Amino acid sequence: MFNPLSHCIEGANIPVETTTGLTKRVYFNNAATTLALKPVMHKVDCNVPLLTYTDAPGPLGERTTINYDDVRDVVLNFVEGDENKDTVIYVKNSTEGINLISNLLCQEDPDQIVITTAMEHMANYLPFVTRFKTKVVKVTKKGELDLLDLERKLKMYKGKVKLVTVTGASNVTGITPPIYDIAKLVHKYGAKILVDAVQLVQHKPFTMKPHSMDEHIDFVVFSAHKCYTPFDGGVLIGPNDFFSKYRPYLEGAGITKFVSSKRIIYSDPPTRFEAGFPDIFGIMALGQTIKFLENLGMNNIFEYEKALYDYMKMRLKTIPKVKIYAENSNQINIPYISFNIKGMYHTDVADYLAYNHGIEVAAGSAGADIYVQSLLGVSAEDAYAKYLTGKPYGIIRVSLGMYNSFSEVDSFINALKKL
Ligand SMILES: Cc1ncc(COP(=O)(O)O)c(C=O)c1O
């Protein structure tokens, strides 16, 4: 079945050169970065001639400032944050947002314990394990988070844990951990929760829930380039009173109320944490893309992608040599599948799909090294030994987006069947 939305996407239907001639591009690497929405690009293009900087004197400066700042409300509304309590800090991407939080926690108490998990992308793992005494929640045989292990760790380190950081959706298996149950548990033990929503918000309705609820999500990050813009730009959302307590992570212009050789007075958040030239087009594009997704309806996107995912999984399972990871989890809500083909090296399969059939997928550890090692049953020692051979372990990952179609899934399956 054809997906008419693909007409709204730059590059979704272009011909690409393969070993057998020109063929239609099939883009199944949306978890790495999505292709761009044409209506968003159009809005950006229209604004290029009016380019100036935020707070520049004159009507165009005023217009730019308003357009740029208004995206904070669009973001807050999208995740149902609290306009009186939460603030939206613009960052380069989620990685920067998470490093910012990690830096502020270090200012608060470098000896505190942070809990992260074995399911995380390195963006939500390395900023903590390299700076803190960190405890890592295990994953089960099914590839899901082990919530008993989380509670054990919360109990054991009660009072010392101020933050639990967890992915809202795995970029490898599409599993969505039960973040609201986790939030309840985390709050019961007096800590806060950060949800890495990079792979969640573009696929499924998401809410931070009210501050008064135990299920409330304290901090959220996500990136624009995974939400159908081709630009940098991301957001870190969290309580204003938390951010107000700390110094900037990046020093530079634009973050102060007053500076002299004797005194520095920093601006309030979010400005305090946005040093340097603003990412005007990245942020404008983020605002536009959120409006586009909201108009389509996040539930509609979720339902369509679920049907596409079910179809792909059903067809993939009919190929005998395919081994799908976390196959039996019933927490998969995001249309991603990671697999291997018996007797074939993962990057060879990805290259074959791209060079011979114009089908783009990911191959490797998808930036989630610890999780992929656990799914493959590779120990830390084995992983290192394989790395030294120059042939590291890895998986093939297919990640669908709202503009992919059933006929593209057929092309993918037919190509795999020829192996
Ligand atoms: C789950 C997850 N978290 C964080 C990131 C980092 O996102 P970014 O590279 O936009 O900072 C990624 C990137 O793939 C991801 O998949």
Q: Please choose from 29, 91, 116, 121 the residue to mutate so as to test ligand 1's pocket, defined by most ligand atoms within 8 A of CB.
A: 121
Distance CA 138, CA 141 (A): 10
Do 12 and 35 touch, CB atoms closer than 8 A?
yes
Q: Is the pLDDT of residue 398 over 70?
A: yes
pTM of the model: 0.97
167 lines ligand 1 (CB under 6 A): yes
Q: What is the pLDDT of residues 134-190, one digit of tens each?
A: 999 999 999 999 999 999 999 999 999 999 999 999 999 999 999 999 999 999 999
Do 192 and 201 touch, CB atoms closer than 8 A?
no
Distance CA 2, CA 405 (A): 6
Assigned token pair, 308 = 């596409």
Q: Is the pLDDT of residue 2 over 80?
A: no
34 lines ligand 1 (CB under 6 A): no
Helices (H) and strands (E) counted in the chain, each on its own, are: 13, 17
Q: Please choose from 95, 116, 179, 200 the residue to mutate so as to test ligand 1's pocket, defined by most ligand atoms within 8 A of CB.
A: 95
The amino acid present at 10, given as its one-letter code, is: E
Name the closest-CA residue to atom 7, ligand 1. Answer: 94
121 lines ligand 1 (CB under 6 A): yes
Q: What domains can you pick out in the chain, each with its CATH number?
A: 4-36+297-417 (3.90.1150.10), 41-294 (3.40.640.10)
Do 170 and 368 touch, CB atoms closer than 8 A?
yes
Q: What is the pLDDT of residues 244-253, one digit of tens each?
A: 999 999 999 9
Q: What is the pLDDT of residues 275-291, one digit of tens each?
A: 999 999 999 999 999 99
Predicted local distance difference test score (pLDDT) of residue 4: 79
Strands 26-27, 359-360: pairing kind: parallel
124 lines ligand 1 (CB under 6 A): yes
Q: Is the pLDDT of residue 1 over 70?
A: no
Buried b (16+ CB within 10 A) or exposed e, 95-128: bbbbbbbbbbbbeeeeebbbbbbbbbbbbbbbbb
Distance CA 292, CA 90 (A): 20
Assigned token pair, 20 = 């057998």
Strands 336-341, 395-399: pairing kind: antiparallel
Q: Which residue reads 């919530």 in tokens?
A: 147
Nearby residues of 17 by Cβ (< 8 Å), 6 or more positions away: none
